[in-house]
Structure 1
Amino acid sequence: MIYNKVICIAVQAPLVYLSSSCISRDYNNGGTVCVCNGTYCDYIGKIPKVKYPQVLVYTSNMEGLRFQKTNASFQNISAELRDSADIIIESHRTYQKVFGFGGAFTDATGINVETLKDDAREHLMKSYFSNDGIQYNVGRVPIGGTDFSTKYYSYDDGEPDPSLKKFALNSADTNYKIPCIKVAHNLTHGKLKLIASAWTAPKWMKTNGAYHGGTLKPEMYQAWADYYVKFFNEYKKQGIKFWGVTTGNEPSLAKYPLSLFQKLASIGWTANTLAQWVEEALGPTLHKSGYGDLNIMALDDQRFYLTWFIDRIFKNEAAKNYINGTAVHWYFDTVFPAKLLSQLHYKYPDKFIISTEACKGNAQVTAKNKQEMKFLFFSQIIGFFLSRGVLLGSWSRGEDYAQDIIEDMRNWVIGWIDWNMALNPGGGPTFLNNVVDSPIVVNGSANEFYKQPMYYAMGHFSKFVPRDSVRIESSQSSKVWSIAFKRPDHAITVVLLNRGKVDQDITIVDSEKGTLTLTVSEHSITTLLYW
């Protein structure tokens, strides 16, 4: 009972012990968190391999289960059961290869990690990246500052410096980003892949002379590409290499009408100017500088750009040849349907699609028809202010993550990257008061952190769907959200999301294995694994 005494002193909320090794705490937000500190943290551990006909069943739910392991077994297929099956899995029909899952190494993440003492800090990093944790294998790294920094900054502030002689990393890189990345790299045994994204250029490169809004001066196209190379060189000196780079975070931020969004660091691009920059500067400069193997991702913004914006970029054949894929964010996914992703894939099947940013803390709405789209677009922005910040224990936010991952990956997305990996209880730090939520919330003064339902929602994918898994055919059920993968070790992973208020009896038929029947509890995420 030592943990009970330590934790209760710090936070006035009751503790409930669960058999899943989660020390649960309820903040009356429709679910629970799991509490970790310097002496204790829950881990899922190594996944055992079972022999046919056994199936491993891992469940997390609103009631408080976290990766609760049980077993089920396949039975022989009967014509009657096959005809009445809720989900039919056909592993010989394959789709996209999976790249991975992860989060962003923001300044705020590093700042919050550093508020913990050594043992608690180690638990947090292991929870994300180790084989005992949920095994993140992708990280997004901001090039310079974001709204989750303590101030605006670039790597070459001050007077104009087109030759970039004054270029230097910020203390946020050396104190927070780089140390976290190195720990994560070691915990993943070198499997961590990094994607870089820039929010803004130095003010002197931009038409409006500000960090936020405006566009890049055409005469600075080459200097901006050189800036990227400088960044990669400095991180390379630290032993850190990148897998990919986006053409810049959310160009739409430069156009939003509300004052908060106008203040977010950004560079506005049209499809034509972005293609021109890639063709004339970014593409050739990366290749000449030894970074030709970097995967260039266009857009790094919302689905409402699909497919028209990419179509216009790809009219420039030179730019198209440099670009390997499209990066999308999730903030209007309830308004703009996932089928836009499939439309993009079928137009450009040789270009991958990856989701590079998501977070809760903003209200979401759904459009019933095209006439509502414009209204709801602005309603979503306004709604951002009505449901902001951290909600400790919110199960519905975890369900939102799981649903979006399933929808995205059923529509050809190869990976899904969360935003801040760690925020404080106030949803920051963020110098623009752009408070949001995070899968892990850090209470530095108590030397403890809280694993949100969003953390476990991510884990039901990242832990069980390793890199180079392949999505396989699985029919959709009206009872639950679902998706299936075949792993490199030939195991099959099936993820089920029940957002309903009642348990669901589910029959799954695998054409090669047999029939599986199980009850999926209300408001739950369940991962099945079998060989």
Structure 2
Amino acid sequence: MFLNYLFLYFLCTGYCRAEDCLSRDYDHGGTVCVCNSDHCDTIPRPEKVEQPQLLIYTSNKAGSRFEQTTGQFEQSDAPDNQIRIDPAQKFQTILGWGGAFTDAAGINLDSLNEQLQEKLLRSYFADDGIEYSLCRVPIGGTDFSTRGYSYDDGDVDEDLVNFVLADEDHQYKIPFIKKALDLTENNLRLFASTWTAPKWMKTNGEYAGYGFLLEEMYQAWANYFVKFLNSYQSEGIEFWGITTGNEPSLAMAPLDQINTVGWNSTQMAKWILNNLGPSIRNSNHSAINIMILDDQRMFLPWFLDEALSDNTTRGYIDGIAVHWYADVFFPASLLTDTHNNFPEKFILATEACNGAVVLGSWERGESYSNDIIQDVSNWVGGWIDWNMVLDLGGGPTYINNFVDSPIIVNATGGEFYKQPMFYHLGHFSKFVPMGSVRIDARSDITNVIFVAFQRPDDGISVVILNRNEEVVPVALVDDSRGTARVELSERSITTILYW
């Protein structure tokens, strides 16, 4: 019996207690946490504390990462800098948080030894990681592949007789998706998005550029979606959702090299009504969530008003997918306008990334959490990052579209780096689990932004972003508990958790 306990102790020391960040500064306005064969930082699941106690988790530019402290509620006069929490006022349910299983992510995972692969996947999916719960899977190739491809290249094949998953699926996607499913005990939702149709289905005969779907191929394209879902199902992988296709607006930029299928609102409405909707609902995947748009805020809500003007078409759609790339030009209030027009549809943020790799940029982490708070405060039910893992150059990408990622792999150095973006996302994915509900949180404070949730375990989670260069004292007020005074360190993101 003693040997059994001793075995469990040594097993637990690797995964049950928190490991601190091994910090490294690349002089880019912050630090990364280095993971290698000997070390990788972890964060255990919070343990419930009794009233009047609360838990405080802080990550900041100075180098703290999920630093845990405690506080407590007190009965006292209302101080200044209040953030008032009202759990009685509830809004949207959280669908999940995560990133994308791109070819590039799989290639970089595959470049590591098995021990580092395990540490990286645990960092995202395990209960001592940031516990991603909703991830995106490309249908075929993207700009973050090493080549352009679809699942039925070659001659015209309207019956999809030659449809087959690519080598990339079997080598770089399916194996890592299965490992992530195992780490989450199958509590990982997946949704799929297409980038391009086979060239023979498109008006321009190319993967990218000013190309739309040939109308005579509308049904073949819908069948292509079903074929993909069937193929992954045969590999033991089920999907929670699909989108109508990644960024159809790219077809309006004919010099852009990113694979795409262009749609206007009239074309999309016709395809959903006559082809995609019936094909999915009459398949083995009839319960899957269909999301429209998968593009920028600039299309809200007018594109949807036009595409879903027919009630039957509207009935086929479960949710609305949005990207972040034009958010600086288009206000988050457009999301609320969209919710008001389509209150029965959920809204999900399905892609975001920054430009070329900058190791240690705290500002890029802040840009993530700032966008998340704005989105969620305007009815968005989750936020999905783009590539989960890239190399030091921000690839691979066969069109040289190099970008940043929350985890960067240095395969030759035998290590990977967790960027500030990883931790900013983690303050939501770790402490606001799937099924949480946004609740009312109000304040007159103008120099911090925040959002609050009620978790499925009835805990309250409040995430606060302080972009100031000085400490900001706040008073968290919950009438059922009292007032808790918290000091937000400079340039920090803080999660307060209580039951």
Alignment pair present for 1:405 and 2:389: no
Q: Give 3-state SS (helix, strand or coil) of 1:327's partner.
A: strand
Match of 1:193 in 2: 189
Question: 1:290-349 CA distances to partner (integer Å, 9 max, x unpaired)?
Answer: 211010100000000001000001112221110011000000111101000001001111
Alignment pair present for 1:445 and 2:412: yes
- The 2-side partners of 1:483 and 1:256 are apart by 36
- The 1-side partners of 2:387 and 2:180 are apart by 15
- The 1-side partners of 2:490 and 2:19 are apart by 18
- The 2-side partners of 1:438 and 1:326 are apart by 24
- The 2-side partners of 1:479 and 1:85 are apart by 10
Match of 2:226 in 1: 229
Match of 2:131 in 1: 135
- The 1-side partners of 2:283 and 2:67 are apart by 49
Q: Give 3-state SS (helix, strand or coil) of 2:412's partner.
A: helix
Identity %: 54
Shift of 1:170: 0.5
Match of 1:39 in 2: 38
- TM-score, length of structure 2 as denominator length: 0.95
Q: Which amino acid counterpart does residue 466 of structure 1 have in structure 2?
A: P
Match of 1:250 in 2: 247
Q: Is the 8 A contact 2:31 2:359 kept in 1?
A: yes
Match of 1:493 in 2: 461
- The 1-side partners of 2:494 and 2:344 are apart by 32
Shift of 1:20: 6.7
Shift of 1:249: 0.2
Shift of 1:283: 0.6
Question: 1:340-393 CA distances to partner (integer Å, 9 max, x unpaired)?
Answer: 0001001111011000000111xxxxxxxxxxxxxxxxxxxxxxxxxxx10000
Match of 1:479 in 2: 447
Q: 1:102 pairs with 78, 95, 98, which one?
A: 98
- TM-score, length of structure 1 as denominator length: 0.89
Q: Which runs of 5+ in 1 are unaligned?
A: 1-18, 362-388
Q: Is the 8 A contact 2:125 2:133 kept in 1?
A: yes
- The 1-side partners of 2:367 and 2:413 are apart by 29
Alignment pair present for 1:120 and 2:85: no
Shift of 1:145: 0.3
**Aligned 1:384-403 pairs, distance under 5 A:** 389-403=356-370
- The 2-side partners of 1:85 and 1:36 are apart by 38
Count of matched residue pairs: 480
Q: Give 3-state SS (helix, strand or coil) of 2:318's partner.
A: strand
- The 2-side partners of 1:526 and 1:64 are apart by 13
Q: Is the 8 A contact 1:39 1:120 kept in 2?
A: no
Q: Which amino acid counterpart does residue 128 of structure 1 have in structure 2?
A: Y
Q: Give 3-state SS (helix, strand or coil) of 2:421's partner.
A: helix
Match of 1:49 in 2: 48
Match of 1:177 in 2: 173
Question: 1:15-56 CA distances to partner (integer Å, 9 max, x unpaired)?
Answer: xxxx97100000000000000012210001121211111110
Question: 1:113-147 CA distances to partner (integer Å, 9 max, x unpaired)?
Answer: 00000111100000000000000011100000000
Q: Is the 8 A contact 2:19 2:40 kept in 1?
A: no
**Aligned 1:283-294 pairs, distance under 5 A:** 283-294=277-288
Match of 2:494 in 1: 526
**Aligned 1:74-473 pairs, distance under 5 A:** 74-78=73-77, 80-81=78-79, 84-213=80-209, 214-256=211-253, 259=255, 262-361=256-355, 389-473=356-440
Match of 1:367 in 2: none
| Segments ≥4 residues shifted beyond 4 Å | none
Q: Is the 8 A contact 1:77 1:509 kept in 2?
A: no
Question: 1:257-278 CA distances to partner (integer Å, 9 max, x unpaired)?
Answer: 6x3xx21100110001001001
- The 1-side partners of 2:150 and 2:259 are apart by 10
Q: Which runs of 5+ in 2 are unaligned?
A: 1-17
- The 1-side partners of 2:313 and 2:166 are apart by 31
Match of 1:6 in 2: none
Match of 2:71 in 1: 72
Kindly report the root-mean-square deviation, in angstroms, between the aligned alpha carbons of the 2 structures: 1.0
Shift of 1:446: 1.4
Q: Give 3-state SS (helix, strand or coil) of 1:423's partner.
A: strand
Question: 1:469-512 CA distances to partner (integer Å, 9 max, x unpaired)?
Answer: 10000014312110000001110000010011111011111121
